[in-house]
Structure formats: C-alpha cells, structure tokens
A and B are shown apart, each in its own frame.
Chain A
Amino acid sequence: MFDSEFLRWVFALFDFLRYDFILRALLTGIFVGSACAVLGVFLVLRRYALIGHGLTHVAFGGVAVGLLFGGSPFWSALVVTILSSIGILKLQQRVKIHADVAIGIVSAVGMAMGIIIASTAQGFNIDLMSYLFGSILTIGPNEFWVSLFISIVIIVFILLFYHKLFAMTFDAETAMVMGINVERYNYFFAVVTAILIVVGMRLVGLLLVSALIILPAVTSLQVSRSFKGSLVTAAGTAIISVFFGIFTSYHLDLPTGGTIVMINFFLFLLAFGVKKIVLENSLGKQ
C-alpha cells in the first residue's frame, strides 16, 4: 500500500521522538499544558482570565529575587507568586475593588520589584531574560519529575472537587446555599494558578505562559456544549498544540514556546470557524 520511500519519510518526520530531551519536553508540555487548560476553563468563565497574565509579572519579580540571593529562581518565584495570588484576593475583599484592578496593582508591583532588583544588582540580566522566553527543550530530569508531579496533583484535585468547582463557577451564590465554601475554593484557584504559572514559565517563558491558560480554554468554549466536554476539549487542545508545537519547531527550527502558542492560536481560529459554519447551517435550516 505504501512504498518504502513514503514510510521512510514518515519515520524521518517523527524521528525527533527518539531524543530523551524531546520526550521530556513533550510529556512535561502535555501534563502542564493540560492542567493549565483545564484550570483556564474555570478562570475564563469566572472572569479571572487575566490573573494568569498578572501573575507572570509577579513571577518575574520572584525570579529576580532568587537570582539576587543566589538561590533557586524556581522556588523564589513559586513563593512570591503564591503569596501575590493570595494578595490579589485579599486586596479585592479589603479594598472592595474588582478582580481586574487588584490584578493590575499586584502585577505592577511585582514587575517593578523585578526591574529594580535587575538594574541595581548587575550581572544576571541574561539569566533573567531566559525566564522571559523559557526553554522547554532544556528541562532536566529533576524539573521534569517536579512539573509532572505538580500538574498531575492539580488535575486530580480538580477532578476530585469537580462538582463543587462547577457549581461555584456557574453561580457562586447558589453554590453557597449548597454549603460550598466559595471563598476557600477562590483561594484554591488563585494558588493553583500561581503554581502553574511558575511551572509553565520554564516551558514557554513568562511572556507566553498565560496563553497556555487562556487559549485552549477559549478554543474549547467555541465548540463545547457541556461543561465536562469543555474541560476535555481544552485538555485535548493543549495536548495537540504541545505536540505539534514541538514537532513544527523541530523541523522548521523555530523557538518552541512561541510555536506552541501560535498553534494554540490557529486552533482557536479553527474552532471559531467551525462554530460559525455550524451556526450558519443551523440558521439556514430554520
């Protein structure tokens, strides 16, 4: 059926899978990407989509703190980002402002902190830059296992509390009358977002990591009819974009993080197009 020339060409296309570092990148990307995507559906529907973006600025400050004191930028960013995500909720409650304003304040402070540290303590600007762009292909075995563990734990938590999280996302007030501690789960979402931002920063860089949260979610919202379906579609979109992102960047020698995000964007356009066509067809029939 297929001549050997064609088979050889196909094998060559997927040849990249035999490298350990590519497999590590692929698996990390698939698990972290899926966790981000599933979380993203909740955040987008709860109008918290920008919290991810805001926290990337804070993580930048956190990385700078780590580099300044010669510690691990991953852990310093993690601590600073988690505290800031809690700060965003506290600010919202105490000062009585909307989420977008609280996110704006905290992200500006985080970024300012990063810039001040970077310009006063000379010498690590290049390291700091590497966190802005990420490098999924240089993930070492340790980081690989940590990322895998964290993203699996987050996915399990979301599945475990699925019904409660769905209820409070649909209507927080009615969820309260079901005895759900909505405030506690707000903190859950904030902390989980902070953790995923820091884990995801190694993959696609701080400049793009919020795209892993927003884009697959928005893509799935174009075509999903049920809530369960929207979570599955978002995770599926993340997996496809990570795989073809690495695939394309390998063959065309493009930066991997940017390519993953661009493929995510193309999938969004595709889903949007499909929705338009389906909608027009159904209107035409009436």
Chain B
Amino acid sequence: MMEKNSNIKSNDNSNGLVLEVTDLSYGFNHEMVIEGIDFSLERGDYLWVIGPNGSGKTTLMKVILKIYALNAGSIDLFGKGIDEFDGWDRIAYVPQRMLFFDPYFPATAKEVASMRLKVLGGRQKNPKNIERKDRERVEDAFEKLGISPLMNKRIGELSGGQLQRVFLARALIANSDLIFLDEPTSAIEPRVREDFFNTIDELNKRGSTIVLINHDIAGMGINNNKILYINKKQIFFGAGRDFCLSDDMGDYFGSSQHIICHQHMDEGEGVED
C-alpha cells in the first residue's frame, strides 16, 4: 500500500495551478528549438507530451526544470516564477536513459534509487529512525516495481528497462507533487510497460501531477486527461478526448487514429458513467 501523499502543500499561492508555461521559446546557437509554448496544469492533471523525434519535447522539459536557462516567455511552478522557485523537493524527474551513461560507474541500484531521498533528507529536522525508514521506503519501491533482486547490482549490469525502473523508484521513493518522466518506457518490454503505467496512474491518483513525454499514445488510459502536441511549435493543447476528435490526431498518427481513439473512448465511457 502506498501511503497518502502527505507533502502536498495547500498554502501556496498557485490557486491550484501547478505549472503555468506562457509563450515559452528556447533557442540554441541562434536557432529556435521550441517556440510559443503555452499551457498550464492543475493539481492532479496527467499530461502526455507528444511529437515526432527532434520536435523539442525533451528540451521543453529541461527548460521547465531549469536545466536549460529560459530564453523567452515565463514559467511558474506552484505559483512562483522559475527564478524564485526553490521547492525542488516537490518535483521529481525521471530522465531518459542517460546519454553518456558510464556502464562502469561504481554505484549499486540501491544507491542510485535512494540518492534523491538522501539529498532531500538533509533538510529534515528530525533524524530519528530516518535510516530505517529510508531503507523501508527503498525496499517497498523496489518490490512494487518488481526489481527487488536487483537492489545490490552494479548499475552498469542492469538492462535499459531495469535502469528506467530504478530511476522511477528514485522518483517515487520521496513523495512528489509534480513528476516529470521523459520516455520512461522506451526500453521496457510490453509486459512490464503495463505495470509501469499502472504505477504512474497510482501516483496520479494519490494527487501527484504527471508530465510524461512519449512517442505514441498507445497505453494511454482515461487518466491521461491532457495532451500537449508539439513539433517545434505548439500544435495542440487540451483534453485527450478533444485531441481524438481533432485533425491534429490524423496528422500525427495517420490512418490508425480511429482505432486508437475508439479504444480510448470506449475505456473512457466505462469509467466515467
């Protein structure tokens, strides 16, 4: 059982807005990578960011996370401008498999997964029982994601999918209000993918806002209530249901759109009635 998300703070001045992106542009070497991105998310939203390869999805995520410096436009996190924002303990990030990942890096899966908890733990005032509680939380997360036997394996010995699950464990061990995932299932076999999405759904139901980058919307359930479709520029932002009915859907998925959309509409009717 996952405990109820306890660190969602109601005393911020965000009016329920978790993320507000206004006319965001980002360029590099005099060339615009993304332009005119404009959307906002409320608490508990589940956003899928889609778009072809090289459309700027990952760049957008990294600008929002302040990994890249903002060029133009504004980003508000929990009602605060990105430059003033300091509540990084409320935000978790599951990166794409690291680009320059060193397979000989000396770290166990457990060390990597508990890293964020330990870094944030430095801010806690009461160190009593922290070691034991931390250990339990790490063990729970590994069990939940079906990777318990990998706990003491060296990180370089894991497969791509196992590594992605360790990164997800790192994000969900410390409760977060806003979770960013960059193609988290790209290296995961279909059988495990479903479990993976179920875990993310569960985090969402507990109140966490989810921003997830993916190539396709196969596996997208009714929970995925918002879609942001970009290709350098913003093409669509709105409810998943509206995306299904729009022409943008056809542009992106071609002739298979009816199948995908029908599937999701059916799922949706069952749940919503």
Contact = CB atoms under 8 A, between A and B. Distances in A.
Contacts of B86: 179
B106 A163 contact: no
B91 A227 contact: no
Contact of B93 (A177, A221, A228): A177
Interface residues of B, number: 30
A27 to B, nearest CB: 28
A163 B95 contact: no
A273 interface: no
Given A173-B95, A176-B66, A177-B65, A166 B106 contact: no
A206 to B, nearest CB: 29
A173 B93 CA distance: 10
A167 interface: yes
A217 B118 CA distance: 24
Interface stretch (B10-18, B109-117, B229-237, B254-262): B109-117
Interface in B162-203: 180
B106 A226 contact: yes
A170 B88 contact: no
A224 interface: yes
B119 A164 contact: yes
Contacts of B105: 45, 170
B122 A163 contact: yes
B89 interface: yes
A17 interface: no
A229 interface: yes
Contacts of A45: 102, 105-106
B67 interface: yes
A227 B67 contact: no
Interface in B146-168: 152, 154
B94 to A, nearest CB: 9
B88 A166 contact: no
A173 B106 contact: no
A147 to B, nearest CB: 28
A171 B108 CA distance: 14
A230 interface: yes
B111 A166 contact: yes
Contacts of B120: 178-179
Contact of B88 (A178, A227, A230): A178
A220 B106 CA distance: 9
A125 interface: no
Interface string B100-140: 00101111100110011011111000000000000000000
B107 A226 contact: yes
Nearest to A223: B106
B62 interface: yes
A180 B95 contact: no
Contacts of B62: 173
Contacts of B111: 166, 226-228
Contact of B89 (A179, A221, A226): A179
Given A177-B88, A179-B88, A227-B111, A163 B118 contact: yes
B95 A174 contact: yes
Residue from A166, A175, A177, A227 whose CB has the most chain B CB atoms within 10 Å: A177
B112 A170 contact: yes
A234 to B, nearest CB: 10
A94 interface: no
Interface in B77-100: 86, 88-89, 91-93, 95, 98
B119 A173 contact: no
A199 B46 CA distance: 54
A251 interface: no
A227 B107 contact: yes
A225 interface: yes
Interface string A224-255: 11111110000000000000000000000000
Residue from B95, B106, B154, B180 whose CB has the most chain A CB atoms within 10 Å: B106
A174 B95 CA distance: 7
Nearest to A164: B119
A174 B180 CA distance: 11
Given A41-B106, A164-B122, A179-B88, 13 more contacts: A45-B106, A163-B119, A166-B107, A173-B67, A173-B95, A174-B95, A177-B88, A178-B115, A178-B116, A221-B104, A225-B108, A226-B111, A230-B106
Interface of A: 41, 45, 163-164, 166-167, 170-171, 173-180, 220-221, 224-230
6 cross-chain pairs, A with B, having the tightest CB-CB distances, nearest first: A179-B88, A230-B106, A163-B118, A177-B93, A224-B106, A227-B107
